[in-house]
Amino acid sequence: MKYLPVLLFSLCLLPCSLNAQALDLSKGTELLEEIPQEKIFVHYNSSLLFSGEYMYYKLYNLQAETDQLSKTSKVAYIELLSEGGNSIFKHKILLKNGVGQGDFFIPTNVPSGNYKLLGYTNWMRNEGTFFAGDVAIINPYLGDQSAISADSEEDSLLKKGNSGVISLKETSAAPVKIIVENDLFGKREKVNLKLEGAPGNYSLSVRKTDSINIPKKFTSEDFTQLFKNKNQNSSKDSVFVPEMRGNLISGRIVPQTSDAKPKLAGNKLAFSLPGEDYIFKVATTNNEGKFYINLDDRYDTSGALMQVLGEDAENWTLQLDPLPNINAPDLEFGKFHITPEMEEWILDRSVQNQIENAYYSVKPDTLKALEKKEPFYVKEPTVYDLDAYTRFETIKETFVEIIRFAWIATNKEESRIVVRQPQGATNYNLPTLLLVDGAMVQDHDLFINYPAKYVKSIKILRDNFFYGSHIFAGIVDVKTIEGNFNEILNQDYIKKVDLKLPEPTKYYFKQTYENQSAARLSRIPDRRTQLFWAPSVELDSPAEDLDFYTSDLPGTFEVHLEGFTSTGKPVSVKKYIKVTAGEVR
């Protein structure tokens, strides 16, 4: 196996200390004293969901003492947990200015039952605190309903003696008001509403009310009772630190050899996330062989490549740490139950969901495009677009005839690409950094023997490149036509890992019946129970105008606003509108 020599530098401990998932208690105590603790509030659209429906949620990460949005953690985690301790989903949410959003489609393999929605950051694990909200799921497609079947009339949450109508209470005194000109609407009618009041960050849900009592949801005004100091970390010898710079990837290198005292500290490893806008990082191990990598930017590719650098790379294996996990052994789950009287209501709701899902392709959500990333190197490279030149069969010929400032040096054992340094540059006698489709290639022969006809462009950066404590003698950045060079990187010293992707930011579909949309959708059924979900309502001015359309379903709909003012005051406002079966004039 062929490797390029890598110069080792001493590890700078201080700048890296905040990158770790956990620190020794002696080093972490100062962090606990200096960095404010956090708490999370989750606004989700409903505490009762059916298979075939979406759970929408918005996370507010707050400073525990002030209720103002926290800028400490850049990542949060949200998880749906069953009574048996099974995780139905676990999402990684990137936070921007303390807020984030996501959704989860309830599939048909999730059984009926009572669940807990958990929300936390890595920093919150020191106090053992987390958000925990009740969620009940009804899955009519599975025969076993024992988890939510009522054993007696006392267990049932069905409203008795009021024809299934819940007493609805609107919110009047609040920093923000919901103003609707009318409270009675017909089918497929436009609803205009206005938000007036204190500037802040909010989320808004408009959803059909259920004719039964459903699990209680905590509001932003009363959720603080969830956070009881469990002293989860009091008996441990380490402190969890906040993910202050983005997605944190940590792990350790493990020696495969039988050396009595393998050198764990000072080993370099490369992290590559290939793609059009690739991510490349270099990390250095500490005295325990641990490494930490921060991904500052959002990414949409899960397949990463990791490799120890140097001639002894094959002597190490890489082990990644699992995602942060909250210890919640004493959760008290809700007691939602169904009764035989609900059978018709459950059937109607299931049919409505099936109809909506059948026409999902007509009204899909769309993903917010990722911002284009700038290369990690600042200086402009020399770019060779090979289609602009006479094509040669081999990479060797291409470098001889087209590429200036770089050549291929060959000896008996290996070939390597060398970049000609600018006049006056210090010669560190270090290797060139070769990237192909964003993946670092240590064995240059893999690229040198690659068919030149598949290469789109070659970029040359001549200057010595300083990457933290690492130096490379220039950069050769190659892009292939198909962008799949990483498929041939199957060497034993390269570890391929599947990263947990952060949840993408979405533009949720907004039903409209204006202009051409009215004609196109006139014959398509509209059985929406969720009329509107707006996770990013920033009330910067005294008033904000919003609108949405009713569906074909009559009934009472709850307009529910949650969030926090810019001064940290919680806001929870509800208003109700009615939709009739006919038209309202």
pLDDT in tens, 83-95: 999 999 999 999 9
Q: Which helix (H) or strand (E) holds 459?
A: strand 455-467
- Secondary structure of 164-200 in HEC code, one letter for each residue: CCCCCCCCCCCCEEEEECCCEECCCCEEEEEEEECCE
Distance of alpha carbon 56 from alpha carbon 533, whole angstroms: 8
* pLDDT(9) > 50: no
Range of 410-414, 462-466, 473-477 with top mean pLDDT: 473-477
Residues 244 and 82 sit within 8 Å (Cβ to Cβ): no
Distance of alpha carbon 443 from alpha carbon 567, whole angstroms: 56
Which range among 219-223, 428-432, 487-491 shows the weakest confidence by mean pLDDT? Answer: 428-432
* pLDDT(8) > 60: no
* pLDDT(56) > 70: yes
Helix intervals (H) in 134-178:
none
**Pairing between strand 530-539 and 200-208?**
antiparallel
C-alpha of 473 from chain center? 36
Chain segment 497-541, per-residue pLDDT in tens: 999 999 998 899 999 888 766 667 778 999 999 999 999 998 887
pLDDT tier, 414 (very low <50, low <70, confident <90, very high otherwise): confident
Which range among 109-123, 259-273, 297-311, 382-396 shows the weakest confidence by mean pLDDT? Answer: 259-273
Residues 29 and 239 sit within 8 Å (Cβ to Cβ): yes
How many angstroms separate the first and last alpha carbons of the chain?
Answer: 80
The structural domains of the chain, ordered by start, are 13-32+241-320 (no CATH), 35-232+326-368+506-579 (2.60.40.1930), 382-485 (2.170.130.10)
Chain segment 224-256, per-residue pLDDT in tens: 767 654 544 444 556 787 899 888 899 999 998
HSE-up of 372 (CA within 13 Å, CB side)? 2
Chain segment 526-535, per-residue pLDDT in tens: 999 999 999 9
Distance of alpha carbon 178 from alpha carbon 204, whole angstroms: 10
Q: What is the mean pLDDT of residues 429-444?
A: 93
Q: What is the mean pLDDT of residues 423-448?
A: 89
Q: What is the mean pLDDT of residues 567-581?
A: 94
Spatial CA neighbour of 121 closest among 91, 164, 147: 91
Distance of alpha carbon 519 from alpha carbon 194, whole angstroms: 28
DSSP-assigned states of every residue in 40-78 = EEEEES-SEEETT-EEEEEEEEEETTT-SBP-S-SEEEE
Residue 343 or residue 26, greater confidence: 343
* pLDDT(576) > 90: yes
pLDDT the model gives residue 374: 80
pLDDT the model gives residue 411: 84
Q: What is the mean pLDDT of residues 461-466?
A: 90
pLDDT tier, 28 (very low <50, low <70, confident <90, very high otherwise): low
Which residue shows structure tokens 């290797």? 431
Which range among 158-162, 360-364, 455-459, 470-474 shows the weakest confidence by mean pLDDT? Answer: 158-162
* pLDDT(3) > 80: no
pTM more than 0.85: yes
* pLDDT(365) > 80: yes
* pLDDT(20) > 60: no
Which residue shows structure tokens 């064995």? 443
Helix intervals (H) in 100-162:
none
pLDDT tier, 22 (very low <50, low <70, confident <90, very high otherwise): low
The answer for residues whose C-beta is within 8 angstroms of residue 414's C-beta and 6 or more apart is: 2, 443, 444, 445
DSSP designation for 398: H
pLDDT the model gives residue 327: 81
* pLDDT(278) > 80: yes
